[in-house]
Structure 1
Amino acid sequence: MTTMYAALLRGINVGGARKVPMAELRTLLESLGHERVSTYLQSGQAVFASGRRDEDGLAAELALAIEKHFGFTADVIVRDHAYLRDVAEACPFPAAELEAKQVHVTYFSAPADAGRFEAIDRRDFLPEEFRLGDRALYLYVPDGLGRSQLADALARPRVNKGLIATTRNWNTVAKLVELTRPS
C-alpha cells in the first residue's frame, strides 16, 4: 500500500540562488522509485506516492539526492497526507475568513517545545500572533509575512536551533492537503 507525501524543500529558487527546476525535481523523485510525482509552484513543494512509511528516511534520501544532483544541500521535510490534513484542520486562526498571505504554517522537522519561544514577548508584536501545533507553528500576520517583525523574531537561529523549519502560506497549506489526498 502506498502513502501520499509532500516534500517541503527549504531555501531553493529564492533570488536566483540554489536553483532546482521542478521538472528535474520530479525526475529525481521518480529515480528514487516514487510514483505519482508532481510539483507545486517553483518554491519547493513536491508530492509523491511511496510504499515506505519513514518520513525522516524519505527526507534524508531526497536531501542526499539533491546534493548529489544539484551540488548543494537543501533542507527537506517530508509529511504524509494525514499529518498535513490534521495541521490544516487544527489551525487556531480563522484561515477561511482571512487572506492567504495573513496565515502561514511553519513546519518543523521535529517537535518544538514552548521553551524555545519564551524570550519572545508576544505583546510586542500584536496584532501579529503565533501558536504552536504538532511539529508546526501557526502564524497570523495581518500585513503579510514580508512586513512581519514577529516572523523575523521566530526565524532567529536560537529559536530554531537543531530544527529544519520551512514556512508556507495558507494557499500552499491547503493545496498540499488536496494534492496528497489518496485517490
Structure 2
Amino acid sequence: MADLPQRATIRGARPESPLPPQTARTILALDLGTTTGWALRGYDGLITSGTVSFRPGRFDGGGMRYLRFTNWLGELDRLSGPIGSIWFEEVRRHTGTDAAHVYGGLMATLTSWAELRGVPYQGVPVGTIKKHATGRGNADKLAMIASARSRGFSPADDNEADAIAILLWALETHGGAR
C-alpha cells in the first residue's frame, strides 16, 4: 500500500524489556474510528504507535474506508508481523449514529480479517482501559493523554493514547496472550 506513510502518523517508540524468543510476537492494539489510534509491540519488544485516518474521500463509495482499513491491516502485518494477537476498544454506546456505524463496520472488517488469518482478537471494555491507565473508569480524553505521557509516550491525540493504554493493559494483565 503505497500511501501508508501519508495516512499513518508514527509517534515516539519505546523499547520494552527484551522478550524470550518463545514469547516474542507482534501485538496490535486499536482504538477503532474514522481516525483510528494504533499501538504495536513488535516481536523485538519495540512499541510504536500512531493514528491513521479512514475518512472517505469526496468521490469514494461507502465501502472504501473498509477496503482501506483491510489494506492497512495487511500492510501492517506484512511490515511488522506477523501479528500474533489484536486487542481493541470495545465500545457499547456511541453518542452518534454515524460513529456507531463506522465503528461497527471497522469492527466487522477487523474480526473477519483476523478470522481469515487465524489471529486471536479480543475487545476490552472502555471502563477497563481507562481504569487501568488512570485509576478512574470514567477518565476524560486529557487524562488518557496525560497517562500515556507519564509512561514515556507522546500521543498526538486521545485515539493514539487509548491505543497505547489498550496495549499496555494487554501486556501488563495478560502478557499479550489469550
The normalised TM-score by structure 1 is 0.28
Bigger radius of gyration among the two: 1
TM-score for the superposition, normalised by structure 2: 0.28
